[in-house]
Amino acid sequence: MQDQGSRRSFIKGMGAGIAGIAVGSSVMGLSRIAAGQVSLGRLGPLGAPDRNDVRLPAGFESRIVGRAGYRVRRSFFDRLDYRWHSFPDGGATFATDDGGWIYVSNSETPSFAGGGASALRFDANGGIRDAYRILGDTNQNCAGGPTPWGTWLSCEEVPFGRVFECDPTGRRRAVERPALGFFKHEAVAVDSATGALYLTEDEGDGRLYRFVPQSVDARGVPRLDAGALQVARVENVTGAVKWLDVPNPRPNPFQTPTRRQRPDSTAFNGGEGIWYHDGKVYFTTKGDNRVWCLLLESQTLTLIYDAASSGNPILTGVDNVTVAPTGDILVAEDGGDMQLVVIDGDGDLAPLLQVVDQNQSEITGPAFSPDGTRLYFSSQRGSRVLGGLGFGLTYEIRGPFDQVLGS
């Protein structure tokens, strides 16, 4: 596929140029709050830490649904055979036919230590029914992303890392998707309207990528085995994005990495979480504590949060990101104050929750149940012992979410 954008030379110093893109408050209104709903940021102040070291608004409670290295509990006296993985990272939920759901979670560990991804299956009442492996023998699976056709894309955060497409039910074997490129993958989001995939790269000079599938199958599902991997070039000041084909999406360690194959592309300082919602792609860059919004129809990039210039810079160590049923953007902190922070439709920030006494950890994998009534996340290196430093805890938050969902 030929590049359809301008062929003129890239402005020298573009990596610094994107720093000049203004924070656009008007863009925040594009993350709409539905009628009858209010922002998650208006649930009230956080209370004292609960028994699980989580601070929550009044009326909410937490439970630990997975402890690294321990058998998953269905109840206090009933444990499954499956032991939850260590260093849980990116996650998402998937609805099941029985009215329940599945929460999938990556394991950011080497293959010899259990790298890959696992799943927790819940019934319609939120009871844990099963736990199992959906991907193994992979390395440092950091984040990834769900697809509109019901699979989980798990990404390796290692040089020349790969992407694997997984079945959340565990019935079908995971499939490697080399067409999505070999690089230090962080996360991926799928445009449900076009089938294009957007991917982040966790390098100090990482890139924002797009994968355009070559075809769809008989069900209309994009085929991920062939297509064009492209890299973004962002025009200074205007934020207009042009997409450039990557000449060699699958380099070996002796060849030029993908991010350096197009010197006229734009560098991003540590690409992290990415999420698609309502015609927009939101992503974070941890190296400079920024949150971005890519408007897909106009292919325009806007900076919506910058800790260095924000009047309320409570969000630092930006990492995983998701969008709530309300339209709020939720950003997890790697370090910072160990908070999950809400950015609402007006651009205002407020913490939704905070994990305490686990300062060497990070919040990962935030995801709502399909009905929006429960929230899942992990403290990647959290523990109730050893001064809070351990191999990871996965939480569920319950409470009066109907106050904001308008139900």
Residue 302: φ, ψ to 5°: -130, 140
**Cα separation of 98 and 2, whole Å?**
46
Q: Which residue has the higher pLDDT, 404 or 288?
A: 288
- Please state, in angstroms and rounded to a whole number, the distance separating the CA atoms of residues 121 and 124: 10
For residue 128, tell me if it sits in a domain: yes
Please report whether residue 288 resides in a domain: yes
Q: What is the pLDDT of residue 35?
A: 55
What is the mean pLDDT of the segment spanning 267-279?
A: 97
Least confident of 72-76, 137-141, 193-197, 352-356: 72-76
Distance in angstroms (rounded) separating the CA atoms of residues 168 and 185: 20
pLDDT band at 12 (very low <50, low <70, confident <90, very high): very low
**CB-based burial of residue 75 (10 Å sphere; 0-12 exposed, 13-18 middle, 19+ buried)?**
exposed
Task: With respect to residue 4, please indicate whether it lies within any of the assigned structural domains.
Answer: no
The pTM of the full predicted model, rounded to 2 decimals, is 0.92
Query: Range of 146's domain?
Result: 14-405
Write down the pLDDT at residue 369. Answer: 97
Would you say residue 303 lies in a domain? yes
d(CA 12, CA 9): 8
User: What CATH code is carried by the domain that includes residue 144?
Assistant: 2.120.10.30
pLDDT digits (tens, 9 = 90+) for 156-176: 999 999 999 999 999 999 999
Q: What is the DSSP letter of 179?
A: G
Residue 15's pLDDT band (cuts 50, 70, 90): very low
**Distance (Å, rounded) from C-alpha 103 to C-alpha 200?**
22
Q: In the prediction, which pLDDT does 388 show?
A: 73
Contact 226, 215 (CB under 8 A): yes
Instruction: Express each pLDDT in 95-110 by its tens digit.
Output: 999 999 999 999 999 9
286 within some domain: yes
- For residue 213, what pLDDT is reported? 97
Asked whether residue 45 is assigned to any structural domain, the reply reads: yes
Closest CA to 159 of 107, 204, 225: 204
Asked if the model's pLDDT at residue 22 lies above 50, the reply is: no
Contact 201, 211 (CB under 8 A): no
Instruction: Assess if residue 3 is contained within a domain.
Output: no
Ramachandran angles phi, psi of 331, nearest 5°: -120, 125
Weakest-pLDDT range from 16-20, 221-225, 245-249: 16-20
Residue 403 has a pLDDT of 79
Q: What is the DSSP letter of 32?
A: P
Q: What does the mean pLDDT of the chain come to?
A: 90
- Number of separate domains in the chain: 1
Calpha distance 84→153 (Å, rounded): 19
Residue 271 covered by a domain: yes
Could you tell me if 209 and 198 are in contact, meaning their C-beta atoms sit under 8 angstroms apart? yes
Which segments of 36-123 are extended strands (E)? 54-55, 61-67, 71-73, 79-83, 88-95, 101-107, 116-122
Q: How are beta strands 163-166 and 175-176 bridged, if at all? A: antiparallel
